[in-house]
């Protein structure tokens, strides 16, 4: 479905944050299973995309160098169409159909802008 190698991270240092890709070493620091890591990345991505949470209000992990939040897209740039479709597929598997409908509307809006 989705590869954890593609996850993006946002490091938090107080009120300052920076964007990065998540390497294998950082994934190991999280000390969670792949499914839990993906679930949190999709949740954060959905919440920011829909405006339910801002970048400073998402679920974070504590790691040695500070805190990190996971996303499936760069939250500064916003998702690409493929990211939204991927989120729809993920939430369909989770049987969260209300979220699928919201994401479908977002995907349609994105297509109209092209």
Helices (H), the chain: 24-30, 34-50, 81-93, 97-113
User: What is the total residue count of the chain?
Assistant: 114
d(CA 37, CA 42): 9
Chain center to CA of 95: 18
Q: Tokens 């998540």 label which residue?
A: 22
pLDDT tens column, 15-26: 444 545 455 556
What is the rounded average pLDDT of the residues 25-47?
A: 78
- Record the pTM: 0.78
pLDDT for the residue 9: 62
What is the rounded average pLDDT of the residues 87-99?
A: 95
φ and ψ of 7, to 5 deg: -65, 145
Give domain limits for the chain.
4-113
């Amino acid at each position: 479905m989705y590869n954890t190698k593609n996850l993006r991270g946002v490091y938090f240092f107080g009120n300052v944050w920076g964007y990065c890709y998540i390497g294998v070493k950082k994934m190991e620091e999280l000390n969670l299973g792949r499914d839990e890591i993906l679930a949190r990345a999709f949740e954060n991505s959905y919440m920011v995309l829909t405006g339910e949470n801002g970048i400073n209000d998402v679920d974070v992990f504590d790691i040695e160098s500070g805190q990190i939040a996971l996303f499936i897209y760069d939250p500064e740039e916003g998702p690409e169409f493929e990211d939204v479709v991927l989120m729809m597929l993920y939430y369909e598997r989770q049987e969260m159909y209300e979220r699928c409908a919201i994401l479908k509307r977002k995907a349609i809006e994105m297509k109209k802008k092209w």
